[in-house]
Amino acid sequence: MRNTWFQSILVNETAATFSLGTFLACTAASLVLGLATAVIYMYRNTYTKGFVVTLVLMPAIVQMVIMLVNGNLGTGVAVMGAFSLVRFRSVPGTAKEISSIFLAMAVGLATGMGYIGIAALFVVVIGAVNTIFTVSRFGEKHTQERALRITIPESLDYTEVFDEIFEKYLKRWELIQVKTTNMGSLFRLEYQVVLKEQKDEKRLIDAIRCRNGNLEILSSRAAIVREEL
């Protein structure tokens, strides 16, 4: 016997004839699954109210468009033309934001075609996988990478002056930028470094202080690259 849970509830209906009950059922499912999509995105993630509300409403909006098109070629071309006029002028989103938007759209496509069971199962599976990856350390960097900024007097040759110290405390280092400051009397060096041991950071700074005349030294987390698609 076939499983009716994963069949479309719009098998015998078209955009011109679908009933109010069917429409309300699909819309309710879209809103509930949109809310679930928003909750998945909010878990251990920074967000704005506007974005999560958009995730809740997007499946219902997409569902409405799909139900109105529903096999009508002329309507489909008109909708495609209308959407082609939209221009998105906001900054690029993060990878997680883009994936959440695509999830909301996929849910709307499924509910718009009447496949409420498939849409619900899809949200559950994606939500479970997303939660597993979020709580696990999958994809995280495990290096002791730091950003190191050192100020030195102009009389000091920076090309090799710290090599001996770096070889003792660092696995690797790279000079990223050299900048003059204080009317050219000082140089500011910016390095990307990887510590051999986290506990060596203070020893590294103390050794550099003795070499650069106790001028300013800044050690911070390496700059995080924004995840964009």
Residue-wise pLDDT tens digits, 117-167? 999 999 999 999 999 988 887 776 656 688 999 999 998 888 888 999 999
Give whole-number Cα distances, 57 to 105, 108, 154, in Å: 10, 9, 60
Q: What is the pLDDT of residues 100-117, one digit of tens each?
A: 988 998 998 889 888 899
The span from the CA of 62 to the CA of 48, in Å, is 22
The span from the CA of 159 to the CA of 65, in Å, is 63
pTM for this one?
A: 0.65
Q: What is the pLDDT of residues 28-39, one digit of tens each?
A: 999 999 999 999
